[in-house]
Amino acid sequence: GAGVSQSPSNKVTEKGKDVELRCDPISGHTALYWYRQSLGQGLEFLIYFQGNSAPDKSGLPSDRFSAERTGGSVSTLTIQRTQQEDSAVYLCASSSSGGAFGNEQFFGPGTRLTVL
C-alpha cells in the first residue's frame, strides 16, 4: 500500500509570501503529525491531529503557522508571510492511533522549503 505522501517535494518562495504544504497520510491512520527539520537540527514537533479531537498545536512556532486536516485524512500546513528562518524540511507522519507507546509513526519524504 501507499505510504505517506507530501507535496510539493520542493518549494522556493520569496520572503513575505504564503505557502501551503500538503500531506496525504496512510489510509486508515487516525493520527497525523507535522514536524520540521532545520539545517543541522533534529526534527521539531509542530502539530498533532488525532481523529476528531482538537489538534495539539503546542509546537507551532508562531501564529503565522496553521494546519488543517479535512475529513480526517489530508492535511495542509500553511505558513503566512514566510520568513527566511522558516526554511527547513517539513515532514508529515501518520500512525494508526495516537500516543507514542508501541505506535510507530510513518514519515513522508518531506517538503524542502526555501525562503529567499
Partner 1 sequence: DQQVKQNSPSLSVQEGRISILNCDYTNSMFDYFLWYKKYPAEGPTFLISISSIKDKNEDGRFTVFLNKSAKHLSLHIVPSQPGDSAVYFCAASAYDGNKLVFGAGTILRVKS
- Report the chain's C-alpha Rg in angstroms: 13
67 counts as binding partner 1 under rule CB under 8 A: no
Q: If 0-12 CB within 10 Å is exposed, 13-18 middle and 19+ buried, where does residue 116 land?
A: exposed
60 counts as binding partner 1 under rule CB under 8 A: no
Q: Which stretch binds partner 1 (CB under 8 A): 12-20, 32-40, 63-71, 80-88?
A: 32-40
Residue with cell 515532514: 91
CA separation for the pair 32, 23 (Å, rounded): 9
Min dist CB 106 to partner 1, Å, is 7
Binding interface with partner 1 (CB under 8 A): 4, 31, 33, 35, 40-45, 48, 50, 56, 58-59, 91, 93, 98-102, 104-110
